[in-house]
Structure 1
Amino acid sequence: MLKILVVEDDTNTRKLMCAVLKQNGFEPYGAEDGIAALQFMETQHVDLVVLDLMMPNMDGYELTRQLRLSWETLPILMVTAKQEPQDKRQGFLAGTDDYMTKPVDEEEMVLRIKALLRRAQIASDRKLTVGTAVLDYDTLTVSRADQVITLPQKEFYLLFKLLSYPNMIFTRLQLMEEIWGMGTETDDHTLNVHINRLRDRFRDWTEFEIVTVRGLGYKAVKKR
């Protein structure tokens, strides 16, 4: 089973989160603060960390920075009552992969954890398989049978992101910040151009398609 470390100073919250994770097939462990979490990870392998922000001895921001020094690719999910945009931004700058605000929807937390673990596996393999199509992160290629298409970097990253989470809707802002960076001055037109180029390139492919969700953004759909 995949091991998940829950770092939360509130005992009841920590126990509840561990119980939910155990019910969903994970092997959860608890730590009351950042120092205890780091001590635990010195002797135990962990597949993902769920951590609170407001904790004694070491807050979640500092714990995330410390984790990134030794476990660069470890998936991290911040869960906190702090809801201001600057708090979320600070969390991502510290190195978290995802961010949820309390009160936490248990089902959503499990779904996010599964998505992060899947993303971590994809990042480790650096390849993504969709039907008979294979996306290779190192060569920026999409291939099937004897057909290979090499994409410009931004187009590849955009397609890889969408296909890593099939059927998940991404807003235009999410995609622009993910592909072009936070604070980018990239506008909707640039994103639309890249989406249309991808649609033209893969118009005849039966493995996937990019769908516009009116008023929201885009999602990738597996055809078979």
Structure 2
Amino acid sequence: MRVLVVEDEPKLRAVLCQGIQEAGYAVDSAGDGPTALELAQRSIYDALVLDVMLPGFDGMELLRRLRADDVWTPVLMLTARDTVSDRVSGLDAGADDYLVKPFAFTELVSRVRALIRRGSTSHQVVLRCGPLELDPTTRRVTVSGNPVELSPREFAVLELLLRRREHVVSRAEILQHVWGVSSGESSNVVDVYVKYLRDKIDRRFGTELIHTVRGAGYRLAEPS
């Protein structure tokens, strides 16, 4: 699970990132609107924690641009303003939840968890590749209608591969998205989890959907 934190005040941004990481999520961060827009368009996030007041352009404008680009990551908006009109403006711009500063950090984490569980149900679609189906909303995985039980990390790896179906996804990208580990670190954890997925999907059901691209990474595709 990966969260993007967008907050221009460095100390608060650091506290938010540390706390969300300690709650078990990988975290990226940005301190201005343009950087956040680039990150949110380039990567897949499970939730976005977004401050309203940002340099470059504010959180409202960032949210409008993301929704216009069909990016429906669930958004928790943070603001120091607590008027009805402010809350309405944020929700109308596409926010899923609204939290007023100062706030209890336990409440923020609870709301982030709720957003991730709920997902953007009106916009998420079931991801498919041959007999394999993954529903991001219900977190249900099936092969030819048969349920497949996955751990949260296995689910996250599979979802990333499905969202990039037919494209090669590098080990470094999987590490960063699922574990929040920089590409400079060496680890065979990705290979281990891909083996878990192959055992539960390819080997169990006699198919071949997860392909190794030597020297590059992994690709999910129907057998040729």
Q: What TM-score, normalized by structure 1, do the two folds share? A: 0.53
Q: Gaps (5+ residues) in structure 2?
A: 125-134, 140-224
Q: Indicate the residue corresponding to 1:199 in structure 2.
A: none
Query: 2:2·2:46 contact (CA, 8 Å) conserved in 1?
Result: yes
Query: 1:122·1:128 contact (CA, 8 Å) conserved in 2?
Result: no
Q: Indicate the residue corresponding to 1:5 in structure 2.
A: 4
Moved more, 26-35 or 63-72: 63-72
1:77 aligns with 2:71: no
Q: Indicate the residue corresponding to 2:97 in structure 1.
A: 98
Q: Indicate the residue corresponding to 2:34 in structure 1.
A: 35
Q: RMSD between aligned alpha carbons? A: 2.0
In the TM superposition, residue 72 of structure 1 has moved relative to its aligned partner by: 4.2
Query: 1:4·1:47 contact (CA, 8 Å) conserved in 2?
Result: yes
Flag the 1:127–1:51 CA change in 2: closer, same or farther, 3 A.
closer
Q: Percent of aligned positions with the same letter in both sequences?
A: 38
Query: 2:33·2:59 contact (CA, 8 Å) conserved in 1?
Result: yes
Query: 2:6·2:49 contact (CA, 8 Å) conserved in 1?
Result: yes
More strand by share: 1
Q: Distance in 2 between matches of 1:120 and 1:13?
A: 25
In the TM superposition, residue 121 of structure 1 has moved relative to its aligned partner by: 7.0
1:44 aligns with 2:43: yes
In the TM superposition, residue 59 of structure 1 has moved relative to its aligned partner by: 0.6
For 1:107, the aligned partner's letter is T
Query: 2:3·2:27 contact (CA, 8 Å) conserved in 1?
Result: yes
Deviations for 1:60-106, whole angstroms, at most 9, x for unmatched residues? 11011011122443100101101111100000010100000001211
Q: Distance in 1 between matches of 2:137 and 2:77?
A: 26
For 1:18, the aligned partner's letter is C
Q: Distance in 1 between matches of 2:28 and 2:20?
A: 10
Q: Distance in 2 between matches of 1:26 and 1:115?
A: 13
Trace 1:131-210 onto structure 2 (pairs within 5 A): none
Q: Gaps (5+ residues) in structure 1?
A: 130-224
Q: What TM-score, normalized by structure 2, do the two folds share? A: 0.53
In the TM superposition, residue 44 of structure 1 has moved relative to its aligned partner by: 2.0
The alignment partner of 1:118 has SS state of helix
Query: 1:6·1:18 contact (CA, 8 Å) conserved in 2?
Result: yes
In the TM superposition, residue 127 of structure 1 has moved relative to its aligned partner by: 7.4
Q: Distance in 2 between matches of 1:111 and 1:122?
A: 19
Q: Distance in 2 between matches of 1:5 and 1:77?
A: 10
Q: Indicate the residue corresponding to 1:89 in structure 2.
A: 88
Q: Indicate the residue corresponding to 1:149 in structure 2.
A: none
Report 1 or 2 for greater relative contact order, CA contacts < 8 Å, sequence distance ≥ 6: 2
In the TM superposition, residue 122 of structure 1 has moved relative to its aligned partner by: 5.5
1:118 aligns with 2:117: yes
Deviations for 1:14-44, whole angstroms, at most 9, x for unmatched residues? 0000000000000011100110001223332
In the TM superposition, residue 11 of structure 1 has moved relative to its aligned partner by: 0.4
Q: Distance in 2 between matches of 1:127 and 1:80?
A: 28
Flag the 1:36–1:121 CA change in 2: closer, same or farther, 3 A.
closer
In the alignment of these two chains, the number of paired residues is: 128
